Amino acid sequence: MINKTREWSALEAHAERLSTAPLANLMTEKHRFDHYSIDAPHWLLDFSRQRVDKESLAALIELAKVAKLEEQIQALFGGKAVNTSENRPALHTALRDPNTEHKKITETLSHMEQFCHEVFTHKLKGVNGQPITDIVNIGIGGSDLGPRFTTEALSHFAKKKVRCHFISNIDPSDLSLKLKDLNPGGILFIVSSKSFNTQETLINAQMAKDWLTHMTASDNCVDYQFVAVTANTEKAKAFGINEAHIFPTWDFVGGRFSLWSAVGLPIALSIGFKNFKQLLLGAHEMDQHFLNTPFENNLPVMTALLNIWQRNFQGINNQAIIPYSTYLERFVPYLQQLVMESCGKSVSRDGETLAFGAGPIIWGGVGSDSQHAFHQHLHQSHERSMIDFIGFRQSLNPTYTQQTLLFANMIAQADALALGRDIKSADNHPHRVMPGNRSSNLLLADKLTPESLGALIALYEHQVFTQSAIWGINPFDQFGVELGKTLANDYFKALESDKTSKIGAIEWFKSKS
C-alpha cells in the first residue's frame, strides 16, 4: 500500500518541516507565481498560496512515480480494464477524441447531429404537428448532473429554438412543477438510463408518458415525443419509443463520465451540435495535456498531488469549490458525484482496507455570494478546507467594472485566507483576528466557452483518476449506492402492506396516510 513507501514517509517529514512555515513567508519568495503556476489548454493554475516548496513538490512527484501513475495513465488511454472490480475499460476519453476508431462512437455522434438538425428545422414534430419547443430530460445521477450542469453553464450559447428542463427526483413535485407551464404538444422527453431499469427514472418516465397521453389525447404520442438514451434497446422499444429515437450507451463509459456521449443529447439540443463539438474538443485538448505532459507541468496531476498533500499530510478532509461565475452554479453538485462517488472508498483495488483517508467531502458555492454565506467558516473556523477558486478574465455579459470587481474579490479572498490578520492589525480585537495560513488554488481562464468548459470538466476527471491511482482505489465503481436501493424496495412493500412493521417511521407514515 502506498503509505508504506519511503516516498510517503518522506512527505510526512516535509509536512512536519513546513507545518510551522507561515504562508506569508513562503509567498515572499522571488518569482513565486512563475515557479508555482502551470499553463494548460484554456486554464492557468496558480498554486503559489499552497504550503509547498520545491523540495515538497519534488517529493510529491516521486510519490506519483512510485505509484506507477504513468503506467496507469497509459492503461486508461490504451483501453485496458482500469475498472478492475467490473473488469472493464473506461473509455470516456475516446468519446471526445476526434480521431477515435470506435465506430459505435462516431455513428452515435452522427445520429445526434442529424437528430439536432431535425429538431432545429422542425422536421421533427410532436404528435399533433407542433414544433418541438421544450426538451425535458428524465434521468438521475450521471444521466442528470452532467447534462444539467453543462447545459446551464453554457446557457449563454443556447439556441433560442428550444428550452431544456431536467427531472431527476422521484419526488412527484419535481415532475409536476417542471411540466405545469409547458405546452404538451411541443415537448420532447429524453429518458436517459443505461439499463432502462433505474427506478426513479422509469417511474418519472411512466408518469410523463401518462400525462402526455392525456394532454395530447393521443395513444401514439410516445412514438413522436419520446427519446431514449440506453444500452437496453429492447426495453426502450417495449416502453413504446421509436427505434429511430433510441441512442446507445455502453458499459465502457460510467454514468458520471458520460456527458460526452448520447447522454449529452440535451446539451447538444440546447447549444447546437457545433458548440457541442467544441465542448468535446476542449476536453480532448486537456486529455492530450494529461497524457503527454511531464508531471511537474501537468495540470490534472499537479492539482491531484496538491489535494493528496492536503488530504493525507495536512489532515484536511473537505474541499470547497468556489467558482466566481453564476454560470457555474451547478458545478458543485456535478463534482460531488464525480469526486465522491469515485473516491469515496475505504478499500483498495486489491480488497485491503485503506490505512488513510481517500476522497474529500465536496461542497461550495458561487462567489461573490459565497462570501456572505460560508467564507466566515473558511477564515476563522478550526476546520480547514482545500479550496479551489475558479475565475475568468472576461464576462460573457460585460459591463464597465463588474467583472474587474468580481475578480478582485476572488483574489482578495485567496490572499486573506493565506495571509490572515494578526491581533495588532485587528486593533487588539481578538474576534477580528484571522489566523491565515489557509491554502487555496486559483484556476483561471480567459472566458467561459464550450471549449474552456470541456477542458475544465476533463481536468477534474483526470484529477480524480490521478488521486485514485495513487491511493490504489477504483474510481469507476460505486457499490455504495446499492444497499440503500435494495432496502428501499423492501420498505416500499412494507409501506404498501397491511402488516405491521417493526420500523417506527414506516408505521408513522402509514398511520398518517
429 is a catalytic site residue: no
CA dist 315 and 27 (Å) reads 22
Q: Do residues 311 and 362 touch, judged by C-beta distance below 8 A?
A: no
CA dist 276 and 462 (Å) reads 20
Q: Within the chain, what is the greatest distance between any pair of CA atoms?
A: 76
- Per annotation, catalytic residue among 372, 424, 431, 512: 372
Backbone angles phi, psi at 163, to 5 degrees: -115, 145
Preceding peptide of 368 cis, ω within 30°: yes
Crossing angle of helices 199-216 and 482-496, rounded to 10°: 60
- Per annotation, catalytic residue among 152, 200, 285, 341: 341
Torsion angle defined by CA atoms of residues 286, 291, 294 and 295, in that order, rounded to the nearest 10 degrees? 80
485 is a catalytic site residue: yes
Q: Do residues 419 and 436 touch, judged by C-beta distance below 8 A?
A: yes
Scanning the structure block, which residue is given the C-alpha cell 483561471? 444
54 is a catalytic site residue: no
Scanning the structure block, which residue is given the C-alpha cell 496558480? 46
CA dist 298 and 276 (Å) reads 25
CA dist 336 and 342 (Å) reads 9
- Per annotation, catalytic residue among 122, 377, 485, 493: 485
CA dist 25 and 422 (Å) reads 14
Produce one character per residue of 399-415: b if its CB has 16 or more CB atoms within 10 Å, e if not. Answer: eeeebeebbebbeebbb
CA dist 412 and 410 (Å) reads 5
Positions marked catalytic: 341, 372, 485
